[in-house]
């Protein structure tokens, strides 16, 4: 029986590790980036539009891939990682709002984003269920959570091996090798969850979770929806300027 969270660190320790490793993060990732990650990142982000929130943006490796009509907000808990993401955005001439925050308690209104994106994040966040609940809260009804994440492989022998390697991986990188991410997403209350395996062993997967819930009557979310319905027949107020390029 796997014990996926046995070696999980406190969030303070995870943050400290990413802060410490920020300088080396891109260099450590580069081989995987060339082998496969870059293409998977493209898949993750393709087709997104509107207000998009990226959680755990890290050094900003996804930034260049967002379509021009995306209005991007990017969050990370580790200041050194976020600093690098900001620098990358400046270098690329991409406009985005960067916020230092813990995804377990996001400083955003309920139902404010059309999509939430993560890549290689839910292996490290200390309480993944709390991060998922926050992602779900800030999504507009019908909005999509897109996640590119690795997880504990299904073949028992490999799962066993990942369990054994996990303590070292966690101590060095802050990332768990054996989180059961699919189970976590499926248990997060979304109406639909799809999972696409990107390798034979099912270690890396793209998840798409959507919540078609109706807002509770009397909440700001419900009022916003009524306003939107009231103005549905009105002429458009003007095209939103692309603030990213
Ligand atoms: C493995 S890195 C991935 C970075 C980036 N998403 C990528 O694809 O390269 C994990 C990131 O998640 C961030 N992180 C971990 N726990 C977090 C939390 N509770 N809230 C926000 N960010 C968190 C870390 O600081 C780190 O930048």
Candidate of 58, 62, 100, 103 to mutate for ligand 1, largest count of ligand atoms within 8 Å of Cβ: 58
With respect to residue 186, please indicate whether it lies within any of the assigned structural domains. Answer: yes
- Distance set, CA 202 to CA 117, 154, 224 (Å): 20, 7, 40
pLDDT in the model for residue 46: 95
Residue 62 falls inside a structural domain = yes
pLDDT tens, position by position, for the chain (245 residues)? 444 455 579 999 999 999 999 999 999 999 999 999 999 999 999 999 999 999 999 999 999 999 999 999 999 999 999 999 999 999 999 999 999 999 999 999 999 999 999 999 999 999 999 999 999 999 999 999 999 999 999 999 999 999 999 999 999 998 999 999 999 999 999 999 999 999 999 999 999 999 886 555 555 555 544 443 333 333 332 222 233 43
Ligand 1: which of 25, 37, 38, 121 to mutate, most ligand atoms within 8 Å of CB?
121
Q: Is residue 217 part of a domain?
A: yes
Please indicate, yes or no, if residue 173 is contained in any of the structural domains: yes
Residue nearest to atom 14 of ligand 1 (CA): 56
Q: What is the pLDDT of residue 120?
A: 96
Q: For position 143, which CATH number holds? A: 3.40.50.150
Residue 62 CA: which ligand 1 atom is closest?
A: 8
Angle at which helices 11-32 and 156-173 pack, to 10 degrees?
110
Range of the structural domain that residue 215 is part of: 11-230
Q: CA–CA separation, 100 vs 78, rounded Å?
A: 7
Using a 6 Å CB cutoff, which residues line ligand 1? 11, 14, 18, 55-58, 61, 75-78, 81, 102-104, 119-121, 124-125, 175
Residue nearest to atom 8 of ligand 1 (CA): 119
In a domain, 181, yes or no: yes
Report the number of distinct structural domains present in the chain. Answer: 1
Confirm whether 6 is domain-assigned: no
Question: Which two tokens mark 121?
Answer: 């994040």
**Distance of CA 234 from the midpoint of ligand 1 (Å):** 41
Residue from 85, 124, 126, 128 to probe ligand 1 pocket by mutation (most atoms less than 8 Å from CB) = 124
The answer to whether residue 5 sits within a structural domain is no
Residue 211 is predicted with a pLDDT of 86
**Residue 55 alpha carbon to ligand 1 centre in Å:** 7
pLDDT at 225: 44
CA distance linking residue 84 with residue 192, whole number of Å = 34
Q: Is residue 33 part of a domain?
A: yes
* Predicted model pTM: 0.86
* Tokens matching residue 170: 């966690």
Alpha-helix runs per DSSP H in the chain: 11-32, 38-45, 79-92, 128-138, 156-173, 181-186, 220-230
């Amino acid at each position: 029986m796997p014990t996926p969270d046995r070696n999980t660190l406190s969030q303070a320790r995870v943050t400290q590790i990413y802060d410490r490793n920020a300088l080396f993060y891109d260099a450590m990732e580069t081989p995987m980036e060339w082998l496969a990650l870059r293409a998977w990142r493209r898949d993750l982000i393709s087709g997104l539009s509107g207000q998009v929130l990226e959680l755990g943006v890290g050094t900003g490796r996804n930034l260049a891939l967002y379509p021009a009509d995306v209005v991007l907000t990017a969050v990370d808990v580790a200041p050194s990682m976020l600093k690098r993401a900001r620098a990358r955005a400046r270098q690329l001439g991409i406009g985005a709002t960067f916020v230092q925050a813990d995804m377990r308690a996001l400083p955003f209104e309920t139902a404010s984003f059309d999509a939430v994106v993560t890549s290689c994040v839910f292996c490290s966040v200390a309480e993944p269920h709390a991060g998922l609940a926050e992602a779900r809260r800030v999504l507009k009804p019908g909005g999509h959570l897109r996640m590119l994440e690795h997880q504990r492989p299904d073949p028992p022998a490999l799962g066993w091996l990942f369990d054994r390697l996990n303590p070292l991986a966690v101590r060095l990188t802050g990332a768990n090798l054996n989180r059961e991410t699919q189970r976590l997403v499926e248990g997060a209350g979304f109406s639909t969850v799809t999972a696409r395996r990107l390798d034979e062993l099912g270690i890396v997967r793209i998840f798409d979770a959507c919540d078609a819930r109706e807002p509770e009557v009397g909440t700001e979310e419900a009022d916003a929806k009524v306003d939107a319905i009231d103005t549905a027949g009105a002429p458009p107020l003007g095209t939103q300027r692309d603030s990213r390029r």
